[in-house]
């Protein structure tokens, strides 16, 4: 047992199983389609699914989108039509119209699961027909018992079995990062002497990284339990580390990689000193506004614990409660070891009881999902949408100030409104 695991076991966690307020895994398509430039996400779902994707993505579409919904209608639901035939026809039409697509994801939903449409068989069938030019994979974005970042986990896990095999030594960074962040990390790893470094998901489908017994992987996101398990099954080993949020998190994340590759601390320092200093200065600009402010995290993105660590330690904020949909004890052990003991932890949700605790505490800032933000704002409380933390580049040294600003902005807006 590691010391940090022991620490977690001593730490009380309020476990709740009640009504939850979360988005489903389809939401991940919004950032994943921007990350894998030649992928298309075809949701096999209902008009509700189409509406969710359209409204979540609405403001961000600037070109022909690379996602769509194949609507399951009443005839399919009543078993009057062969949904497989209809799906094949939709995919054929789609790939004729979009010859640039190299990777097609069939994304399952609540309705496709209700009619027990076997999308893995459909993906295999369509893969035989359209491969090798187009690879067809499937995963579930269904909202039953999930939270919205699990869509990314399911998507990445679906790629692991088709990654080429290798026994060569190398580092794999796992989790969708904005291209600009990925480029910064690539430069830092190169300066530290770590390589080769590959990323999952790749920017192009043909660049799917290889994996095997020489692969060590660093999670860039804390919600990738299934992907990590699938990589371990292929022989890869996870490098335990906190997550690269804030200057401290980024430094510890890079240092963990350096240790795994036998690179000395002085090397890491030489490669990162300037970027660390830039990050610290950027964060300091917001510390004066945010220090001492009381914060409350509702469980939503699964980023809550690393964020609670960042705001407590780098912005001197007081976190009253850090709620997370799932607490992955192993993947979060290093984070929990850094989190101040005063932060109350909760896992799962019973939304009414949590709202009661939040209202009683009257925090200065609440990080929550869209469904709770408006009613809480109407009660005079200040909120930040947790989903923005997935749409905005926030990892790494050069984004540490932007991350701090995301929390400062709603407070400044509230102050201006009050004047
Ligand atoms: S919760 Fe289910 S029905 Fe609703 S949008 Fe998500 S997948 Fe579709």
> Would you give the DSSP letter of residue 170?
E
In this structure, are 32 and 99 located in the same domain? yes
Work out how many domains the chain is built from and give that number: 3
In this structure, are 223 and 301 located in the same domain? no
How far is the centre of ligand 1, averaged over its atoms, from the C-alpha of 144 (Å)? 8
* Nearest one of 196, 39, 16, 151 to 105, comparing CA atoms: 39
| pLDDT score for 6 | 46
| pLDDT score for 398 | 97
Instruction: Assign residue 396 a region (left: φ > 0; alpha: ψ between -120 and 50; beta: otherwise).
Output: left
* Nearest one of 332, 374, 372, 258 to 13, comparing CA atoms: 332
| pLDDT score for 396 | 98
Contact 94, 105 (CB under 8 A): no
Indicate whether 120 belongs to any domain. Answer: yes
In this structure, are 184 and 232 located in the same domain? yes
In this structure, are 193 and 130 located in the same domain? no
pLDDT confidence tier of residue 237, bands split at 50, 70 and 90: very high
Pocket test for ligand 1, best of 143, 144, 150 (most atoms within 8 A of CB): 143
In this structure, are 281 and 343 located in the same domain? yes
C-alpha distance from residue 66 to each of 36, 39, 73, 223 (Å): 10, 7, 22, 24
Pocket test for ligand 1, best of 49, 146, 155 (most atoms within 8 A of CB): 49
In this structure, are 250 and 351 located in the same domain? no
In the chain, % of residues over pLDDT 70: 94
- Among 72-86, 226-240, 328-342, the minimum mean pLDDT is found in 72-86
In this structure, are 219 and 178 located in the same domain? yes
Domain containing residue 338: CATH number: 3.40.50.1980
Q: Which residue has the higher pLDDT, 46 or 165?
A: 165
In this structure, are 135 and 209 located in the same domain? no
102-152, pLDDT tens digit by residue? Answer: 999 999 999 898 888 899 999 999 999 999 999 999 999 998 777 899 999
Indicate whether 165 belongs to any domain. Answer: no
Among the candidates 244, 268, 292, a domain finishes at: 268
| pLDDT score for 62 | 53
Indicate whether 162 belongs to any domain. Answer: no
Q: Please report the atom of ligand 1 found closest to the CA of residue 110.
A: 2
Among the candidates 268, 302, 329, a domain finishes at: 268
In this structure, are 15 and 54 located in the same domain? no
CA geometry: angle at 33 spanning 32 and 39, to 5°?
115
How far is the centre of ligand 1, averaged over its atoms, from the C-alpha of 30 (Å)? 15
The residue range of the domain holding 192 is 170-268
In this structure, are 254 and 345 located in the same domain? no
How far is the centre of ligand 1, averaged over its atoms, from the C-alpha of 260 (Å)? 41
| Whole-angstrom distance, CA of residue 388 vs CA of residue 280 | 22
In this structure, are 185 and 199 located in the same domain? yes
């Amino acid at each position: 047992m590691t010391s940090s695991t022991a620490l977690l076991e001593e730490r009380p966690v309020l476990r709740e199983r009640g009504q939850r307020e979360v988005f489903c895994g389809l939401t991940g398509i919004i950032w994943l389609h921007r990350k894998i430039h030649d992928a298309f996400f075809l949701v096999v779902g209902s008009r509700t699914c189409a509406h969710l994707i359209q409204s979540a993505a609405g403001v961000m579409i600037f070109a022909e989108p690379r996602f769509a919904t194949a609507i399951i209608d009443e005839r399919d639901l009543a078993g009057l039509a062969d949904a497989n035939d209809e799906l094949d026809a939709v995919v054929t039409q789609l790939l004729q119209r979009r010859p640039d697509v190299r990777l097609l994801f069939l994304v399952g939903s609540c309705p496709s699961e209700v009619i027990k449409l076997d999308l893995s068989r459909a993906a295999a069938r369509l893969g035989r027909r359209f491969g090798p030019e187009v690879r067809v994979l499937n995963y579930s974005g269904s909202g039953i018992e999930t939270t919205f970042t699990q869509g990314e986990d399911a998507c990445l896990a679906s790629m692991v079995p088709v990654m080429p095999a290798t026994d060569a030594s190398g580092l794999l960074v796992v989790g969708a990062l904005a291209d600009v962040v990925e480029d910064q990390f690539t430069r830092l790893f190169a300066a530290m002497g770590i390589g080769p470094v590959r990323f999952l998901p790749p920017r192009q489908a043909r660049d799917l990284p290889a994996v095997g017994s020489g692969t060590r992987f660093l999670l860039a996101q804390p919600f990738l339990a299934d992907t990590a398990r699938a990589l371990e099954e292929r022989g890869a080993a996870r490098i335990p580390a906190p997550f690269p949020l804030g200057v401290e998190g980024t430094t510890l994340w890079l240092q963990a990689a350096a240790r795994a590759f036998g690179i000395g601390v002085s090397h890491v320092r030489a490669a990162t000193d300037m970027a660390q200093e830039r990050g610290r200065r950027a964060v300091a600009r917001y510390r004066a506004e945010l220090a001492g402010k009381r914060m409350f995290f509702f469980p939503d993105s699964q980023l809550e614990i690393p964020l609670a660590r960042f705001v407590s330690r780098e912005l001197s904020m007081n976190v009253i409660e850090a709620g997370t949909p799932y607490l992955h004890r192993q993947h979060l052990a290093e984070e929990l070891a850094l989190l101040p003991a005063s932060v109350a932890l909760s896992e799962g949700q019973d939304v009414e009881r949590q709202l009661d605790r939040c209202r009683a505490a009257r925090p200065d800032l609440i990080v929550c999902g869209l469904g709770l933000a408006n009613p809480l704002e109407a009660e005079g409380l200040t909120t930040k949408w947790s989903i923005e933390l997935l749409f905005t580049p926030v990892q790494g040294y050069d984004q540490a100030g932007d991350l701090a600003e995301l929390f400062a902005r709603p407070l400044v807006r509230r102050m201006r409104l009050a004047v």
